[in-house]
A and B are shown apart, each in its own frame.
Chain A
Amino acid sequence: GENVEQHPSTLSVQEGDSAVIKCTYSDSASNYFPWYKQELGKGPQLIIDIRSNVGEKKDQRIAVTLNKTAKHFSLHITETQPEDSAVYFCAARSTGGGNKLTFGTGTQLKVEL
């Protein structure tokens, strides 16, 4: 089955700096890659996603890149703010797995003032 690895597990940045979180996947049949933000006591919130036929997608301060050949994708957050502090999860969905998402282990992002 699909396996998704995520790094780093913790990330601390200064306010205004950029943050990058990286994920790799194992199933070449995966074609959809969402990113979720989870704040304490809440469910994961979809923040951006990318399909396998696209190399990059941006939404204001957030961007995701995908390298299908290397089977890795990354989340980029620019101009970080304290409210960006949360746990971020990457996920992958395979064409043969229905709507099942396989998640990475999460990255605890802390934006310091």
Chain B
Amino acid sequence: KAGVTQTPRYLIKTRGQQVTLSCSPISGHRSVSWYQQTPGQGLQFLFEYFSETQRNKGNFPGRFSGRQFSNSRSEMNVSTLELGDSALYLCARVDREGVREQYFGPGTRLTVT
């Protein structure tokens, strides 16, 4: 079981607006990663957080940002939406031990019109 809840599941926004997506890993998992999935670019790493600190960031413009709270819930924000931001946004919890496997949530489908 993935053990990751993402809300909302579907979202429609207008170009120029901003959006906030939420990710909640099961209790005790303090590390989360975010990815963007599009038909053209595939799965691309956005950023990762551990204990409220951003540890790594992908090659996305500054319009994409995120944060993590003390309860491990994470949010990502996209400002000034563009049509090309339409995608499935996936959050994964990262296992604390061993090989640090990543388990994905169902994603948030964002459509920008």
Residues of A within 8 A of B (CB): 32, 34, 36, 41-46, 49, 51, 89, 91, 97-106
Given A99-B94, A100-B48 in contact, is the A34-B102 Cβ separation under 8 Å?
yes
Q: Spot the interface stretch: B14-22, B60-68, B79-87, B104-112.
A: B104-112
Q: How large is the interface on B (under 10, 10 to 19, 20 to 34, 35 or more residues)?
A: 20 to 34
Pairwise interchain contact B105-A43, C-beta atoms closer than 8 A: yes
Specify which of A46, A105, A106 is in contact with B101 (CB 8 Å cutoff). Answer: A46
Residues of B within 8 A of A (CB): 2, 4, 31, 33, 35, 42-45, 48, 55-56, 58, 90, 94, 99-107
Pairwise interchain contact A43-B106, C-beta atoms closer than 8 A: yes
Pairwise interchain contact A103-B101, C-beta atoms closer than 8 A: no
Supply 5 A–B pairs (Cβ within 8 Å), ascending by A: A42-B106, A43-B2, A43-B107, A46-B103, A99-B94
CB-CB < 8 A to A49: which residues of B? Answer: 99, 101
When C-beta atoms are compared, the residue in chain B nearest to A106 turns out to be B42
